[in-house]
């Protein structure tokens, strides 16, 4: 009896030791999705023939005051539907962002080390045009619609629900806080009914992985989740222009702990 009890004890001890020391099965999903965060960058270039030239729009009301304010600030009032660098062919004001490779509505992992987004984001009308011309917001941010010009301006915002739509006069030197922004597939158009040549756009995201191309068409998105995602690009006149020309974009792989240069993307209106 004592021998049987001893054998049972030894057997249980061996089983327990095996369970504690045997290797665990690797997480296949974790192996397919590299851990960490990385940076992506690239450039959008004009590929539509002759480079578009910005022109002075047909100015109407308050022409002298608008031109005077622009001159005082060393600026020009020019069309902004296509802003292309004649030397580099870089396209400015292209909105670039990441989406899940399988579902554009799926939430993206957010780097916990990123700082909290600013409470307010500003759009101004300093001299009869919106500055910036294209603005991106994150859900929960407040749009501060400013008018630092010497003449009255109007903020007419046309959005697809649930984003705000309004038509509000802003006196010189005043501003209006606009809340309630939600991530949306469609942009909100901003215009001024007093000065019909003034227009701009707002796009809203549920994550921080977006950028707007600079004067040379360059963009950079930092601290993005490593792995396989899709990149989407939109320009106000051309619309979506990658892949199937929709909001699903094209595949990209983001390397952990590194900067991934995606190279050059061509914008060619159809």
For the chain, domain boundaries: 34-51+86-114+208-270, 59-77+115-206
- Cβ(259)–Cβ(222) below 8 Å: no
- pLDDT for 35 equals 66
For residues 245 and 265, give the distance between their C-alpha atoms in angstroms, rounded to a whole number. 13
Residue % of the chain over a pLDDT of 90: 86
Q: pLDDT per residue over 234-251, tens digit each?
A: 999 999 999 999 999 999
- Mean pLDDT, all residues of the chain: 89
Q: What is the mean pLDDT of residues 52-64?
A: 93
What average pLDDT score do residues 199-226 get? Answer: 98
Q: With 80 as the cut, is the pLDDT of residue 258 above it?
A: yes
Q: Hey, do 34-51+86-114+208-270 and 59-77+115-206 end up sharing a CATH topology, with the first three levels equal?
A: yes
**Whole-angstrom distance, CA of residue 71 vs CA of residue 73:** 5
Can you tell me the mean pLDDT for 165-179? 97
Fold assignment, 59-77+115-206:
Immunoglobulin-like (2.60.40)
CATH architecture of 34-51+86-114+208-270: Sandwich (2.60)
Q: What per-residue confidence (pLDDT) applies to 128?
A: 93
Say what the pTM is: 0.86
State the pLDDT at residue 190.
98
In the DSSP assignment, the letter for residue 88 is: T
- Which of the 8 DSSP states describes residue 52? P
């Amino acid at each position: 009896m004592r021998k049987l009890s001893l054998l049972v004890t030894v057997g249980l001890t061996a089983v327990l030791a095996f369970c504690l020391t045997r290797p665990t099965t690797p997480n296949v999903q974790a192996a397919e999705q590299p851990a960490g965060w990385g940076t992506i960058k690239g450039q959008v270039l004009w590929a539509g023939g002759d480079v578009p030239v910005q022109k002075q729009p047909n100015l109407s009301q308050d022409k002298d005051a608008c031109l005077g304010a622009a001159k005082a600030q060393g600026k020009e009032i020019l069309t902004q539907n296509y802003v292309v660098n004649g030397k580099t062919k870089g396209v400015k004001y292209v909105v670039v962002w990441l989406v899940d490779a399988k579902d554009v509505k799926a939430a993206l992992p957010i780097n916990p080390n990123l700082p909290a987004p600013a409470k307010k984001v500003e759009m101004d009308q300093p001299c009869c045009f919106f500055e910036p011309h294209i603005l991106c917001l994150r859900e929960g941010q407040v749009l501060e619609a400013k008018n630092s010009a010497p003449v009255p301006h109007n903020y007419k915002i046309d959005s697809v629900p649930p984003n705000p739509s309004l038509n509000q006069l802003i006196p010189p030197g005043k501003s209006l806080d606009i809340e309630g922004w939600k991530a949306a597939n469609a942009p909100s158009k901003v215009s001024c009914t007093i000065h019909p040549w003034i227009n701009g756009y707002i796009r809203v995201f549920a994550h921080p992985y977006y950028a707007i191309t600079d004067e040379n068409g360059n963009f950079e998105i930092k601290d993005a989740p490593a792995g396989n995602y899709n990149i989407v690009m939109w320009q106000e006149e051309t619309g979506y222009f990658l892949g199937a020309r929709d909001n699903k974009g094209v595949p990209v792989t983001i390397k952990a702990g590194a900067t991934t240069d995606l190279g050059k993307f061509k914008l060619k209106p159809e």
